[in-house]
Structure 1
Amino acid sequence: MHNEQEIRKEVLRKVKLPEEEEIKLRSVVDTLLTLAQKEMEKREFEGDAILVGSVAKGTYLRNPDIDIFLRFPKELKKEDLKHLGLEIGKVIIPDGFAKYAEHPYWHGTYLGFEVDIVPCYRITSPDEKMSAVDRTPFHTEYVKRNLKEWQKDEVRLLKAFLKGIGAYGAEAKVQGFSGYLTELLILKYGDFISTLKNVANWRKKVYLHLEGEGEEFRDPVVFIDPVDPHRNAASAVSEEKKSLFIYASQRYLEEPSIKFFFPEKIKPLKREKILKLVEERGTYFYVISFPRPDMVEDNLYPQMRRTLEIFVNILRDFHPVNSLYQVTSSHVHFIIELERDLLPKVKKHCGPPVWHENSKNFLSRWRDGALRGPYIGGY
């Protein structure tokens, strides 16, 4: 399938909820909001329960998560906010469980839908935020106010495209594009194809905004949050995922294919084939494995990346060719490919420039321990 319009129709058919599921979703949302509001009122708080996220904005894909926010008065202590959020969540979804971000929230399944019940503070401006989630209702309202009805499917196409290429999601595991960011991109560029055309021409520095420029950031992609000019809505995007998005956009525009949205599953190689390929490469593979640490994913994956960098740095004299990590349910694995597995007896050890304050210490330290030198030379 190479006709762009045919691809578009087929993708939307696959990612949008069937009508009967749509009706069920709306019914479940109404029920959850009613239950949550009753629980808030029982506790005599001047707060409310609201729907946020992609379901509220009408930009969700199949199997959507329902995000219910419980807004409490600013005067409430943070510890009480955390406690009440979990308490109300447990009443609504008794078999759910607590999950943790900046503060705990309740997660569970209600009539087949994944649900997050999140406590936050009710504020009148993002400048008043007391936690990161406090600005989320403003994100929802901004998109609902500015996104045209026909653009909702454009967002769905962009989300499905990013999901297909492995760049959808702002969590630490992915380091990609959040749902909110995809909505901002459609608001910026107009539609799915126009977004790809613009992304295909992105370069090293990407600085975008809708409501005027904001602060300077050093992230690979900068999109000033229209409800908070002090925040980069694209801060989670890594250089790798930015580059992947650029390349995939270029390729899709050259030759559209539904495989960008729904890639074929990669068949794992057999052990014999892997061993043969390793032998043919003539390099050396080392695997470091240990039990998976007991920590949330948003903390685990940054630790994995830092640990891999440390391993590669330690082994730099062996000339690392490739390196990667893998996380399973029980273990973490680091795989490093080296050009060589033995070091030569002689190594050139370069010191600091002569004008550096440590140059004398370097010369003094290595004066008697070097095969040749120390000497002054160019690099």
Structure 2
Amino acid sequence: MPEKEILNLIKPTKEEERKLKEKAKDVIEKVKIKNVKLELGGSVAKGTWLKGNHDIDIYAKFDLKYKGHDISSILKRKLEKFKFSTLHGSRDYFQIKKRNYVVEIVPILNIKNVAQAENITDVSPFHVKWVRKHKELADEMRLAKAFCKANKLYGAESYIKGFSGYVLEILIVNYGSFRNLLKASLDWKNKEVIDVENYYKNNDAMRELNVSKTKSPLIVIDPVQKERNAAAGLSLEKFNLFKKIAKDYLNGPSVKYFLREKLTLKKIKQVAGNNKLIVVQAKTLQGKKDVIGAKLLKVFTHLKKHLILNDFKLLDSGWEWDENVMFYFVLDKKMLSKTKKHFGPPRNSKRLNDFKQKWAGKRICYKNNFAYVVIDRKYRLPEELVKKLIKSEYVTSRVKSVNLIKL
């Protein structure tokens, strides 16, 4: 089985671990705030991060006497010796880029139990502590993360709606291994409940949890906060896709399921074949990744929707976000007719007179009892429409720059 081979590719080396923790220690030692303790957090502290991932989370844990105070502003003043950017979330946090490393310093309250939390981020150290109790499963967690990343299933952000790292860690503890997780997922039903700490009996979780927390297809009870569904951001699409790819992998295990191929123009052209291909490139605005991603998704959806509304036959579409952004649309290459039928209300509708007045001078025809007129199309070629759309305020307000690539 390829899991052992995969671990050699995805597990950080001792040297990589040393350098990463050294970089974190360097930042921690330079930030001094009275009654504030800085410590390593996230997947690095859990021991579940992947090779090549140089993102470091540091928690700035403020004493409880700061409760009700703007701890983000206090932390910001103490970071003046660094070149940093401010990211907006439920609390502002700060990002420092040092060569290949991205350090995020997150202000939280140093709570003793989760009931004292003012903010969801205050609970983060409890997540770390819980995962660390199961450190013998760290490599299985890495396999689950690499599998989801390669198949675009990773991340609870609103523009992804997939599995967060924490959810995957919980699932691995629940099932005991990566392979067991995949096998179990084949039998998941919609509204499947995973309660690793057995907080609820039978189907009590669905009755006792707030309705807003049980809308996702998978209910994963947070082991440190039983009132919380850790998988609340998971979409039905990603839930079903996970099950499908899990089945495919179990039927034919291969390294390819763990290696995400970067989408290139060459590959998109191969996908398009002899069909019409439209490619739009964009550069992102500054800001929090989740917010930027949500804006990009809106741009992609906007372009796709208007291509369909204008009768272009869409065969395939997608988008990729790395340093830059690429949206692509594969369409039927046949040029649309010069005219089209524009339908109105039924023949017996009270609105028929309004339709006739609006199109005075046009011949009113009927099809299946619905009125219609024949009008000239605004766009016969998809690139004409896309050129117009990318200049609209809807698009330009959501990206730094955008242009149509000549193919």
| Alignment match, 2:60 | 70
Mapped contact 1:172–1:297 kept (Cα < 8 A): no
Deviation, 1:253, is 0.8
Aligned partner of 1:318 in structure 2 is: 311
Which one of the candidate residues 19, 30, 44 is aligned to 1:55? 44
User: For residue 202 of structure 1, what is the amino acid of its counterpart?
Assistant: W
Look up the match of 1:40. Answer: 33
1:231 aligns with 2:228: yes
TM-score by length of 1: 0.75
> Which residue does the alignment assign to 1:259?
256
The corresponding residue for 1:309 is 301
Aligned CA RMSD, in angstroms, stands at 3.9
Q: In the alignment, which residue of structure 1 is the partner of 2:153?
A: 167
8 A Cα contact 1:308 1:323, kept in partner: no
CA contact (8 A) 1:292 1:332 kept: no
One-letter identity of the residue aligned with 1:372: Y
| Aligned partner of 1:119 among 107, 114, 122 | 107
Distance 1:118 1:234 in 2: 22
CA distance in 2, matches of 1:153, 1:134: 27
Give the distance between the partners of 2:343 and 2:164, measured in 1 at CA. 46
Q: Distance in 2 between matches of 1:294 and 1:193?
A: 39
TM-score (norm 2): 0.71
**Partner residue, 1:341:** 336
Shift in alpha-carbon separation, 1:23–1:335, aligned structure 2, 3 A: closer
Structure 1 residues 346, 137: closer, same or farther in 2, change over 3 A?
same
User: In structure 2, what is the Cα distance between the partners aligned to 1:219 and 1:260?
Assistant: 25
1:10 to 5, 23, 27: 5
For structure 1, the residue ranges without an aligned partner over 5 or more in a row are: 352-358
Shift of 1:69: 0.7
Distance in 2 (CA, whole Å) between partners of 1:113 and 1:291 is 21
CA distance in 2, matches of 1:294, 1:111: 18
Asked whether the equivalents of residues 367 and 374 of structure 1 are also in contact (C-alpha less than 8 Å), the reply is no
Deviation at 1:254, TM superposition (A): 1.0
Determine the C-alpha separation between the residues in 1 that align with 2:22 and 2:301.
49
Contact kept in structure 2, 1:219 and 1:235, CA below 8 Å: yes
C-alpha separation in 1, matches of 2:178 and 2:322: 34
Query: Which aligned pairs between 1:101-180 and structure 2 lie closer than 5 A?
Result: 101-109=89-97, 113-145=101-133, 147=134, 149-172=135-158, 174-180=160-166
Q: How many pairs align?
A: 351
Question: Per-residue deviation at 1:197?
Answer: 0.5
User: In 2, Cα distance between the equivalents of 1:255 and 1:345?
Assistant: 48
Matches within 5 A, 1:260-275: 260-263=257-260, 268-269=265-266
Q: 8 Å contact 1:175–1:238 — kept in the other structure?
A: yes
Cα offset, 1:186, TM superposition? 0.6
Equivalent-residue separation in structure 2 for 1:128 and 1:48 (angstroms): 17
Seen in structure 2, the aligned counterparts of structure 1 residues 255 and 171 have a Cα distance that, compared at 3 Å, is same
Question: 1:191 offset after TM fit, Å?
Answer: 0.8
Over 3 Å counting, the alpha-carbon distance change for 1:311 and 1:263 in structure 2 is closer
CA distance in 1, matches of 2:126, 2:59: 12
CA distance in 2, matches of 1:346, 1:323: 26
* Matched residue type, 2:309: R
Amino acid at match of 1:277: G
299-308 or 286-295, which deviates more: 286-295
Q: Which amino acid aligns with 1:248?
A: I
Report what 1:244 is aligned to: 241
d(CA) in 2 for partners of 1:276, 1:218: 36
Whether the aligned pair in 1 keeps the contact of 2:59 and 2:106 (CA below 8 Å) is yes
The question of 1:198 aligning with 2:184 is answered yes
Secondary structure of 1:168 counterpart: coil
Worse-matched range after superposition: 337-346 or 111-120: 337-346
Superposition deviation, residue 154 in structure 1: 1.1
- Alpha-carbon distance between aligned partners in 2 of 1:330 and 1:262, rounded to the nearest angstrom: 20
> 1:309 & 1:27 partners in 2: Cα distance?
42
Q: Identity of counterpart residues, as a percentage?
A: 27
Matches within 5 A, 1:178-193: 178-193=164-179
Q: Secondary structure at the match of 1:40?
A: coil
User: Which residue is 2:86 aligned to?
Assistant: 98
Change (3 A) 1:361 1:49: farther
Alpha-carbon distance change, 325 to 29 in structure 1, aligned in 2, over 3 angstroms: closer
Describe the superposition over 1:195-214 as per-residue Cα deviations: whole angstroms up to 9, x where unpaired: 01012333444443333323
1:300 aligns with 292
